[in-house]
Amino acid sequence: MNRWDSLTQLKHEDTKSRGFFRRCNSWCLCALVVCFTLPTLGQSLQFAFEKEGRFIAPEQRFALSFARGIDAYEGPQPFDMLHYRLDINLPMTVDALEGSVRMLMRLKENADSLVLHSVGLSLDTVRVDGVLKSTSRDSATESFTIHFNGTRTAGETLQIDIDYHRIPGYPRPSSRRGFYFFRDTIGLPSNLGYTFSEPSDARFWFPCYDEPWEKATAELNITAPNGYVAASNGKLIGTTNNGNSTTTWRWRQNQPITTYLMCMTVSRFSVSMIPYVKSTGDTIPLQYYTWNAPPFIDSAWTASFLTTVGQMVSAYSGLFGEYPFDKYGMTCIVPFGYLGMEHQTITTMNRYYATSHRVVSHELAHQWWGNDVTCGTWADIWLNESFATYSEALWREHLYGFDSLKAYMRDTLSGFQFGSWQGAIYDPVGQGFNLFDQVVYTKGGWVLHTLRGVVGDSAFFSMLRAYRDKYQGKSAVTSELKAVADSVVGSDMSWFFNQWIFGKGWPKYSSRFTGAADTISLTIQQQQDVLWPTYKMPIRVRAYHGMNRTDYIVQDSLRVQTFLLPLSVQPDSVVLDPDGWILKQIVAPTNVGEEKGKPGEFRLFQNYPNPFNPGTTLSFVIGHVSLVSLKVYDVLGREVAMLVHEVKNPGAYTLQFDASDLASGVYYYRMTSGSFSETKKMLLVR
């Protein structure tokens, strides 16, 4: 899934939409409210979906600690789901849905009943192996129980048949409708119906076992009035004209799929298609389902983008292993409360991001990370989202090289502003964050980049492939990824996972050095919150001396640690992690020799980087509780920014100074506190 966020670049040509989306972005991030508009309709229609706090069903909280499977996470339920067959009728003139579902399952244990999920659906008949059965409902867990009236034994295969319809007027939250229906009267070329189920809303449109760890093959037979096109998962087996002004679209997903990835998107679409040849020699279609009628003439510009999609499939296949499925399609719709949603083989794209490299590459990468290998529990959601987010950067690297990837990653560091970054990547909900908070997107993407830096490209991409090979078609939990990493790297990676995946925050390094005749003495201090891990990290250190440079790797593992590095000349500067592999905040190494004669316990350090454009980091130390002032002045002595003016407790402080609004030139920053006053110079170069 792809949420609105500040990195989003609007690709669509509709300039009228831009102002709205820009306002919308920053607002949505804080409020976790997703909104959208149809700016071309002449009237500004807005829909607000409130997503706060809905992301995990109550029973999942304890299900997370249940038994784990041997080969892949299997969950606590007493059965293996083998296959879903859905037959669904959509009138497409009103917001209604009826149908039947057939589930084939094999019992793993003896059972006299079984529990499945359903919300807002009337279960009209329920049969087990053709025999009518009674059910009881538990609305608190959004589930129902089928009573067998006897015991069925382990190893048996059961066929569950349920006829059902969606209950009109059932009080569904606006963000949890499962099935969404919009009429053309709001300005669309056609009536539109689609499903959106992540994480736990498939139960709103068909009875199922609605957990990410349980996967089965599936077929969806969707009946709609003639003229409508129904897109869904897997291969199109065929269409049948039923002779009553309706057509049935028959789709089959032969690779295992979990319920939140099942979907149908129905409107009067036209379909663009190009072939893609896999490395196996198999040819699969790449498709775009779009409107091509006023006011949305979308076929040509989306069709021309399919060539780029093919290049993305090829690039990711080279990195992760061959594309897993029989087709890759996208539907292009609006209104849609997200940028995109990676339904298996048929991503739903927000029309205004239909050719956005960032969004398209993110959703495509989910076909490997999330769809082929699915997060075993929602606590493991980073196995989907962090991987897809880092894949955005990998696509950039494929196009423009490693420097472009570095720039892409550096740009995302603005994410430090988000509160959820302070959490651990694993189990955001358990820490009080939204399941789809930034911690599992940009921070998680950064942690994967950090892991790549630690183990090197060869081991990193070998690990991705080994993980994919082992859990293809299955679900995996974080400990299973770690076991693969241990195996590929050849050592226990607990130290990395404990601090970066299960630990909070990030390291905040400060450092200073002194140069002697043949040695640099480098002291690195970790200044992050004491409740965050003390990070154990190999850090590359680069000493610059004249036109030369010398690199070292230090194994930093303490809050304060001093390293003696052999160097025969006095360096001009020393930089930690010069290639930008580590998720971190940093302040400049400071030559202690320049610091003599300062009053007592207060210090103001040189900004870093310097020169800068437009951001730089300022650091200072407070010796005792006091009123502290830190201001920035231009060369004429005019105050241009007040960064600090408050009572501070003793300690080391770091802050970011953004000079976006200032012209190039020399500036001074002065810290005062009681009798202490110190001024330093910095240079803004545009």
Interface residue list for Zn ion (CB under 5 A): 1-2, 385, 388
Question: Min. distance of Cβ 2 from Zn ion in angstroms?
Answer: 5
Considering beta carbons, is residue 161 or 385 the nearer one to Zn ion?
A: 385
Q: Cα separation of 70 and 50, whole Å?
A: 38
Considering beta carbons, is residue 361 or 511 the nearer one to Zn ion?
A: 361
Question: Min. distance of Cβ 366 from Zn ion in angstroms?
Answer: 6
Considering beta carbons, is residue 28 or 128 the nearer one to Zn ion?
A: 28
Q: Is 331 exposed, middle or buried (0-12, 13-18, 19+ CB in 10 A)?
A: buried
For residue 614, is the peptide bond before it cis, meaning its omega torsion is within 30 degrees of 0?
A: yes
Instruction: Determine the Cα angle at 454 with ends 488 and 474, to 5°.
Output: 40
Question: Min. distance of Cβ 385 from Zn ion in angstroms?
Answer: 5
Instruction: Determine the Cα angle at 634 with ends 629 and 635, to 5°.
Output: 125
Question: Min. distance of Cβ 220 from Zn ion in angstroms?
Answer: 22
For residues 345 and 233, the answer to whether their CB atoms sit within 8 Å is yes
Q: Which amino acid is at 540?
A: R
Question: Min. distance of Cβ 361 from Zn ion in angstroms?
Answer: 11
Side by side, which strands form the sheet with 603-604? 603-604, 615-622, 651-658
Considering beta carbons, is residue 100 or 371 the nearer one to Zn ion?
A: 371
Q: Cα separation of 208 and 215, whole Å?
A: 11
Question: Min. distance of Cβ 231 from Zn ion in angstroms?
Answer: 19
Task: Tell the residue number behind the tokens 């590095």, with chain if given.
Answer: 565
Neighbouring residues of 395: CB distance < 8 A, sequence distance ≥ 6:
312, 315, 316, 357, 361, 365
Question: Min. distance of Cβ 244 from Zn ion in angstroms?
Answer: 40
Q: Cα separation of 177 and 161, whole Å?
A: 23
User: 576-600 burial, b for 16+ CB within 10 Å, e for fewer?
Assistant: bbeebbbbbbbbbbbbeeeeeeeee
Report the 3 state secondary structure along 302-344.
HHCCHHHHHHHHHHHHHHHCCCCCCCEEEEEECCCCCCEECCC
Considering beta carbons, is residue 74 or 385 the nearer one to Zn ion?
A: 385
Neighbouring residues of 535: CB distance < 8 A, sequence distance ≥ 6:
499, 507, 526, 528, 556, 557
Question: Min. distance of Cβ 4 from Zn ion in angstroms?
Answer: 12
Q: Cα separation of 191 and 182, whole Å?
A: 6
Task: Tell the residue number behind the tokens 């859990």, with chain if given.
Answer: 471
Considering beta carbons, is residue 340 or 505 the nearer one to Zn ion?
A: 340
Considering beta carbons, is residue 388 or 554 the nearer one to Zn ion?
A: 388
**How many residues make up the chain in this entry?**
686
Considering beta carbons, is residue 1 or 587 the nearer one to Zn ion?
A: 1
Give the CA radius of gyration of the chain. 28
Question: Min. distance of Cβ 139 from Zn ion in angstroms?
Answer: 30
Question: Min. distance of Cβ 537 from Zn ion in angstroms?
Answer: 28
Considering beta carbons, is residue 95 or 385 the nearer one to Zn ion?
A: 385
Q: Cα separation of 539 and 555, whole Å?
A: 6
Considering beta carbons, is residue 101 or 309 the nearer one to Zn ion?
A: 309
For residues 426 and 478, the answer to whether their CB atoms sit within 8 Å is yes
Q: Cα separation of 657 and 503, whole Å?
A: 28
Considering beta carbons, is residue 142 or 385 the nearer one to Zn ion?
A: 385
Considering beta carbons, is residue 265 or 384 the nearer one to Zn ion?
A: 384
- The DSSP symbol for 5 reads -
Distance of alpha carbon 272 from the chain centroid: 28
Considering beta carbons, is residue 1 or 330 the nearer one to Zn ion?
A: 1
Which residue spans within 38-166 are E strands per DSSP? 46-50, 79-89, 98-107, 111-117, 121-128, 131-132, 135-138, 143-152, 157-166
Question: Min. distance of Cβ 342 from Zn ion in angstroms?
Answer: 6
Instruction: Determine the Cα angle at 218 with ends 79 and 142, to 5°.
Output: 55
Question: Min. distance of Cβ 461 from Zn ion in angstroms?
Answer: 20
Question: Min. distance of Cβ 658 from Zn ion in angstroms?
Answer: 29
